[in-house]
């Protein structure tokens, strides 16, 4: 429908250069304009402005401080905002609590690295209401975060805030027309977001600069080629803004940080809210840690010559060469071998190692990845299905979640054995470790009394092997009395039941 209107508009515009305009010439343009009016009017109240204020640890804000008003009065003394951005209300709890999606870099400074500072986050909604927000959850690897803030005495219905919905089939095409709503150059400080018009110039783009995609890297997944390139310019303040299709669906989140690399007049970029990124967002809305899939191989970019023997069955120029497979890894279990060429994941072409890591990562742990493989040693085309592990979190000091995905059991909590980089036996992953890793132990708990601490690796529970947190919690479900655990070093620990005589005697 809308493509027909655009085609008609272009023809009418060209004809208008030579012939007088008549009512029929502008009718499609008027329909398109009305559509833009409708989408902008419906979605604008859900787009907010965000301000980040950083203070010394011992300082406090003066009564009635408002960083948005401070911008209006630059001579006013006192704290000032360190940065401004945009956000999109995705959920409203009890008509009062807003859950706002934004970029991770909009609401973080040195938290987790500098204990001498604190940060305050403020949200300005439609109608000019300033609310203090807290971090509900964030994920540095996707550069996404969710804030929670409470409407003081108002309701979302009163402010006409209608959270936009995702597109059911989140696919993208070059040339698709979009609307962009946000807070460019922090001028939307009254809560009235600005709207821009553009199109998707390309998909699966990456920002300029060197790409690191090794296991010990803390780069965002977007540096592996996720981004939508837009023909709209996105100045500072537009990070976290809404990208909408002409039906009003939220299909992306703008990021001006990617646009700020290497070019004085860079193209605009947006994080696509496709299936993989929707999984990330839904996890953040739950307040949980976002997890990424992991295969356990050392991938390298292939050469053009590597795929020559596969012609005409494989038409792409390059793929991924498997240079090493970690022993006992998900790749080893599905018979992926050193020297194999991986050219597709779940039917999507893989052109380099960044493609492979991105596609597997967005699937998440325990997801099935169907790998299309060519084995040069035997000249075979193979399909291998791997059940993925968890990509290690490089630095969990900055992790903020409000809900733990894995519950405490007798005072301990576990994760995938590769869940934390600092607990890996070696960064190169010569051998993929087995079992689950203990990430926290409560003081004076039954687990602490059994001499179990963070970093302890558990391989068996009461004689049953465990390889994932789900298997661990299934094995201890309903367990009564003392439970024996086998550790990776061969030692055994007996965890008493809390409140039992054994637990009391060990206190």
* Whether 28 and 50 share a structural domain: no
* Whether 455 and 499 share a structural domain: yes
Provide DSSP, 365-385.
TT-EEEEEEEETTTTEEEEEE
Low-confidence ranges of the chain (pLDDT < 70): 1-24, 70-78, 109-114, 208-218, 257-267, 427-428, 499-507
* Whether 310 and 226 share a structural domain: no
Domain that holds residue 37: 2-41
Distance CA(182)–CA(85), nearest Å, equals 8
Residue count (the chain): 507
Check if the beta carbon of residue 453 is closer than 8 Å to that of residue 433: no
Distance CA(335)–CA(333), nearest Å, equals 6
* Whether 413 and 382 share a structural domain: no
* Whether 309 and 373 share a structural domain: yes
**Segment (H or E) for 330:** helix 330-333
**Domain assignment of residue 395, yes or no:** no
**Domain assignment of residue 394, yes or no:** no
* Whether 123 and 154 share a structural domain: yes
In this prediction, residue 132 carries a pLDDT of: 94
In this prediction, residue 19 carries a pLDDT of: 45
Domain end point (choices 254, 286, 318): 286
**Domain assignment of residue 400, yes or no:** no
* Whether 276 and 301 share a structural domain: no
In this prediction, residue 70 carries a pLDDT of: 64
* Whether 96 and 156 share a structural domain: yes
In this prediction, residue 335 carries a pLDDT of: 97
pLDDT tens, residue by residue, 94-103? 888 999 999 9
CATH number for position 305 = 2.30.42.10
For 46-136, where are the alpha helices, taking DSSP H only?
Answer: 67-72
In this prediction, residue 16 carries a pLDDT of: 46
* Whether 377 and 478 share a structural domain: no
In this prediction, residue 23 carries a pLDDT of: 61
**Domain assignment of residue 393, yes or no:** no
In this prediction, residue 329 carries a pLDDT of: 95
Q: How many structural domains comprise the chain?
A: 4
**Domain assignment of residue 138, yes or no:** yes
Q: Give per-residue burial for 458-486: e unless 16+ CB within 10 Å, then b.
A: bbbbeeeebbbbeebbebbeeeeeebebb
In this prediction, residue 399 carries a pLDDT of: 78
Domain end point (choices 286, 316, 348): 286
CATH number for position 117 = 2.40.10.120
Distance CA(115)–CA(353), nearest Å, equals 37
**Domain assignment of residue 172, yes or no:** yes
- Assign 40 to helix, strand or coil: helix
Look-up: residue for tokens 């092997």?
465
**Domain assignment of residue 73, yes or no:** no
**Domain assignment of residue 392, yes or no:** no
């Amino acid at each position: 429908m809308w493509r027909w209107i655009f085609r008609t508009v272009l023809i009418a515009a060209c004809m208008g250069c030579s012939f007088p305009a008549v009512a029929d010439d502008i009718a499609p343009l008027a329909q398109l304009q009305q559509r833009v009016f409708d989408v902008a009017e419906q979605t604008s109240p859900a787009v907010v402005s965000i301000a980040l204020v950083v203070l010394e640890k011992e300082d406090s804000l003066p009564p009635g401080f408002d960083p948005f008003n401070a911008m209006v009065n630059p001579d006013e003394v006192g704290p000032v905002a360190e940065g401004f951005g945009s956000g999109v209300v995705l959920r409203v709890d009890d008509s009062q609590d807003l859950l706002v999606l934004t970029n991770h870099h909009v609401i973080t400074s040195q938290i987790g690295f500098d204990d001498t500072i604190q940060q305050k986050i403020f949200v300005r909604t439609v109608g000019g209401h300033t609310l203090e927000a807290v971090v509900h959850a964030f994920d540095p690897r996707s550069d996404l975060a969710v804030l929670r803030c409470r409407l003081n005495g108002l309701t979302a219905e009163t402010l006409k805030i209608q959270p936009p919905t995702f597109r059911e089939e989140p696919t993208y095409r070059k040339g698709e027309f979009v609307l962009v709503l946000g807070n460019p150059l922090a001028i939307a400080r009254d809560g009235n977001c600005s709207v821009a018009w553009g199109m998707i110039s390309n998909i699966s783009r990456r920002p300029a600069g060197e790409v690191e995609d090794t296991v010990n890297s803390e780069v965002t997944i977007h540096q592996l080629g996720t981004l939508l390139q837009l023909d709209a310019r996105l100045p500072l303040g537009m990070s976290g803004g809404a990208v909408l299709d002409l039906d009003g669906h939220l299909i992306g989140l703008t990021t001006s940080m990617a646009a700020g690399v290497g070019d004085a007049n860079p193209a605009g970029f947006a994080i696509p809210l496709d299936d993989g990124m929707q999984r990330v967002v839904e996890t953040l809305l739950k307040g949980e840690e976002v997890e990424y899939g992991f295969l356990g191989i050392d991938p390298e970019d292939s050469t053009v010559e590597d795929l020559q023997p596969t012609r005409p069955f494989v038409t792409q120029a390059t793929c991924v060469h498997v240079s090493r497979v970690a022993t006992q890894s998900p790749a080893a279990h599905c018979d992926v071998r050193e020297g194999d060429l991986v050219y597709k994941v779940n039917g999507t072409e893989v052109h380099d190692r960044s493609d492979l890591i991105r596609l597997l990562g967005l699937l998440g742990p325990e997801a099935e990845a169907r790998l299309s493989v060519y084995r040069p040693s035997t000249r075979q085309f193979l399909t291998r299905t791997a059940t993925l592990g968890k990509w290690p979190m490089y630095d969990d000091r900055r992790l903020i979640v409000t809900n733990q995905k894995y519950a405490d059991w007798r005072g301990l909590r576990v994760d995938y054995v590769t869940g934390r980089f600092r607990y890996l036996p070696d960064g190169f992953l010569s051998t993929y470790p087995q079992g689950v890793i203990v990430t926290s132990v409560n003081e004076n708990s039954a687990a602490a009394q059994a001499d179990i601490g963070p970093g302890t690796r558990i391989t068996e529970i009461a004689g049953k092997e465990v390889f994932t947190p789900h298997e661990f919690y299934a094995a201890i479900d309903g367990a009564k009395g003392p439970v024996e655990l086998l550790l990776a070093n061969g030692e055994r620990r007996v965890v008493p039941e809390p409140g039992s005589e054994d637990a009391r005697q060990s206190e």
